[in-house]
Amino acid sequence: MTTLDIEAVRAFVLAADLKSFTRAAEAMDTTQSAISLKVKRMEDALGRRLLDRTPRLVRLSADGNAFLGPARALIAAHHGAIGCFDVEQQRLVVGISHHIVGAELPLLLRRMRSAAPRLVLEIHVSTSADVLDQFDRGVIDGAVILRHDSRRKGGETILEEAFSWMASPDFEHHNGEPLRLATQADPCSVRSMAIDALNKAGIAWTEVFVGGGLATIGAAVSAGLAVAALGRRVAPPGTIDVGAQLGLPPLPSRDVVLHASRRDQEARNSLKTLTAAIRATSVRP
């Protein structure tokens, strides 16, 4: 009878979800080669190839797709058995800047949940300034924000977010008219960044849509109402960078940074998985 190593099963699920051995290694606080070896040994034990490796991505094979559901169930049962004597359920509260997560938020939450299924997750999505304020006041345990200046030091840099002028392919702009913008409500550091760039370039602009988060701004952009300064990683599918086409000034990039106060193992596992998952969203098939 074949016996499965639970850490190898977890490595497989993370590599499948994150489409990367490197990101799975980050989530499990180990090396890429260790993850690859765990999965390879499990494949050999099962006599099945579970993952197809390419230079850029890891993909599920047909056998891997069949194994993924039972593998998730096995991990959940394992966590349930280990935690059956726990009396108090722990809560992890994380604040995330609304410029950092887009349509992939459900996937990020699922991956955090799979890393620490006994935790109650509470997510706050707001401006970077508001998220940092909540973190400093002890309201939240972790903060994932855009670093807009050097006044706030520390934290773990997750990735560098590149911003562009994003619009739908059918967006129309006529010479002599102000550029139609979709922005967050003031105060918003990305809004200020975009407006400062336009003002310095002498480009007239007008706000035609003010949103309450990336989803609403993305909807306005996808509908062809306006142009928005958005991270390329989280811009709505189908939108394009129109900066060069419209002669707009380049936008600076910003670091995405994690600040965390919790040091217990479950919180660390969940936050490591979150950061690895955010990094993984920068890789496109």
Q: Residues near 23 by Cβ (< 8 Å), separated by ≥ 6?
A: 14, 15, 276, 277, 279, 280
Write out pLDDT tens, residues 84-109.
566 556 778 888 888 887 666 777 77
- Which of 267, 214, 215 lies closest to 93, judged by CA? 267
Distance CA(267)–CA(84), nearest Å, equals: 18
Q: What is the pTM of this model?
A: 0.69
pLDDT of residue 227: 96
3-state secondary structure of 158: strand
Tell me how long the chain is. 285
CA 225 to chain centre: 26
In the chain, what are the domains?
A: 6-82 (1.10.10.10), 91-159+255-280 (3.40.190.10), 163-252 (3.40.190.10)
Residues of the chain scoring pLDDT < 50: 284-285
Note the pLDDT tens digit of each residue in 53-73: 876 778 888 888 888 888 888
How much is the pLDDT for 1? Answer: 65
pLDDT at 282: 66
pLDDT, position 158: 87
Contact 211, 220 (CB under 8 A): yes
